[in-house]
Amino acid sequence: MEKLRIAVQKSGRLSEKTLELFNECGIGLTGGSGRLLVDSPDFPVEVLYLRDDDIPQYVADGVADVGVVGENVYVETGKDVVITERLGFSKCRISLAIPKAHEYKGLEYFQGKRIATTYPVILSKFLKEKNITADIHVISGSVEIAPGIGLADAIFDIVSSGSTLFSNNLKEVEVVMKSEAVLISTPNLSASKQAILEDLIFRMRSVQKAKKNKYILLNAPKKNLDEIIAIIPGMKSPSIVPLADEGWVSLHSVVPEKDFWNIIGKLQDKGAQGILVIPIEKMIV
Ligand code: ATP
Ligand code: ZN
């Protein structure tokens, strides 16, 4: 049977989260570490481990069918591949940063400056759009130390918390792009591989949706039931289970994680008690 070959970062910031997602999708991987190509006993895929920068090229060449990369790498490499799904992890910004002590009034700051980066394509496109001429120094790692050692005046690099910048006496002044892990694929997959990819995406969405929601159980006084239902409508409508005490019912529903604290307060105001909130593993709607 034909398998879908997925390129995954061998070791780095994407690796663990990617394998965790596969695991949650019921895709286990056999074979020890150190192997380049690994099979799944549960699902018709095989995983090819690569450096993240090489993944778009391998997918464009058809050596791998799909791959997981940071959107930043997808844009920087500019290969002939398409984003088929956004995966919601490894979120970061690609930003311009300058020495902490310098005053920053706007992009004019960068006119004629030397900027160190591993993302020359994204940076030069941005500077061109803004009509800034700067000297781009491409370096392959530890970009954040470039200003401190006199190699550059500023940097263009990945930022997540900003602590690396801070400890190198730098400050973030412009966010040029936001990135997250994405699933990329060749635009021309065979029908059978396309079917496997669709099944994979279906599973990924079920996992992602589940993470964004919580299962909630509570006891509600019957007299306030309509108002309580209005606060938590549920996927279709909430389940209502009678309790021995005739004035009360037990209500089960699903609520978005982001609304959670807001909803709990409103429920308590309407007399809800014994509220239990439970994580959902998979969610198919
Ligand atoms: P490789 O050895 O495979 O070339 P790398 O050193 O280029 O790895 P990593 O540092 O592992 O790359 O980062 C991989 C991707 O993870 C980045 O392209 C980016 O999308 C994302 N990423 C990097 N740093 C962070 C961060 N601090 N927080 C969140 N996501 C990040
Ligand atoms: Zn890399």
How do residues 187-246 score in pLDDT, each as one tens digit? 889 999 999 999 999 999 999 999 999 999 999 999 999 999 998 877 778 899 999 999
For domain 213-279, give the fold.
Alpha-Beta Plaits (3.30.70)
Residue whose Cα lies nearest atom 29 of ligand 1: it is 90
Q: Is 79 within 8 Å of 161 (Cβ atoms)?
A: no
Give me the mean pLDDT over the 67-95 stretch: 97
Euclidean distance between CA atoms 46 and 5, whole angstroms: 5
pLDDT above 80 (res 32): no
Tell if the pTM clears 0.75, that is, is over it: yes
Question: How close is the Cα of 53 to the center of ligand 2, in Å?
Answer: 5
Ligand 1 close to Cβ of residue 180 (< 6 A): no
Identity of the residue numbered 278: I
pLDDT tens across 96-150, in order? 999 999 999 999 999 999 999 999 999 999 999 999 999 999 999 899 999 999 9
Element (H or E) spanning 185, and its range? strand 181-185
Ligand 1 close to Cβ of residue 70 (< 6 A): yes
Give me the mean pLDDT over the 166-188 stretch: 96
CATH number of the domain located at residue range(s) 92-179 in this protein = 3.40.190.10
pLDDT above 80 (res 33): no
pLDDT of residue 191: 95
Confidence of residue 31 (pLDDT cuts 50, 70, 90): low
Question: How close is the Cα of 230 to the center of ligand 2, in Å?
Answer: 49
Burial class (CB in 10 A: 0-12, 13-18, 19+), 245: exposed
Report the share of the chain in percent with pLDDT over 90.
88
Ligand 1 close to Cβ of residue 24 (< 6 A): no
Nearest Cα residue to 56 out of 34, 81, 33: 81
Ligand 1 close to Cβ of residue 77 (< 6 A): no
Give me the mean pLDDT over the 6-33 stretch: 91
Ligand 1 close to Cβ of residue 254 (< 6 A): no
Q: Which atom of ligand 1 is nearest the CA belonging to 70? A: 20
Q: Is 87 within 8 Å of 183 (Cβ atoms)?
A: yes
Q: Where in the chain is the domain with CATH 3.30.70.120?
A: 213-279
Architecture of the domain made up of 4-89+180-210: 3-Layer(aba) Sandwich (3.40)
pLDDT above 80 (res 87): yes
Ligand 1 close to Cβ of residue 73 (< 6 A): yes
Report the share of the chain in percent with pLDDT over 70.
99
Pocket perturbation via mutation, ligand 1, pick of 11, 14, 94 by most ligand atoms within 8 A of CB: 14
The ligand with the least distance to the CA atom of 10 is: 1
Instruction: Quote the mean pLDDT of the chain.
Output: 94
Euclidean distance between CA atoms 240 and 220, whole angstroms: 10
Q: Is 47 helix (H, G, I), strand (E, B) or coil?
A: strand
Euclidean distance between CA atoms 55 and 66, whole angstroms: 9
Q: Six-digit token pair at 135? A: 């000297």
Residue 146 β-bridge partners: none
Ligand 1 close to Cβ of residue 53 (< 6 A): yes
pLDDT of residue 190: 95
Ligand 1 close to Cβ of residue 118 (< 6 A): no
pLDDT above 80 (res 80): yes
Give me the mean pLDDT over the 70-92 stretch: 97
Pocket perturbation via mutation, ligand 1, pick of 8, 51, 92, 163 by most ligand atoms within 8 A of CB: 92
Q: Which atom of ligand 1 is nearest the CA belonging to 51? A: 3
Antiparallel, parallel or unpaired: β 92-99 and 66-70: unpaired
Q: Is 40 within 8 Å of 47 (Cβ atoms)?
A: yes
pLDDT of residue 232: 86
Most confident range, picked from 24-38, 111-125, 248-262: 111-125
Ligand 1 close to Cβ of residue 72 (< 6 A): yes
Ligand 1 close to Cβ of residue 25 (< 6 A): no
Give me the mean pLDDT over the 251-255 stretch: 93
Residue 50 β-bridge partners: 9
Q: Where in the chain is the domain with CATH 3.40.190.10?
A: 4-89+180-210, 92-179
pLDDT above 90 (res 250): yes
Q: Which atom of ligand 1 is nearest the CA belonging to 73? A: 18
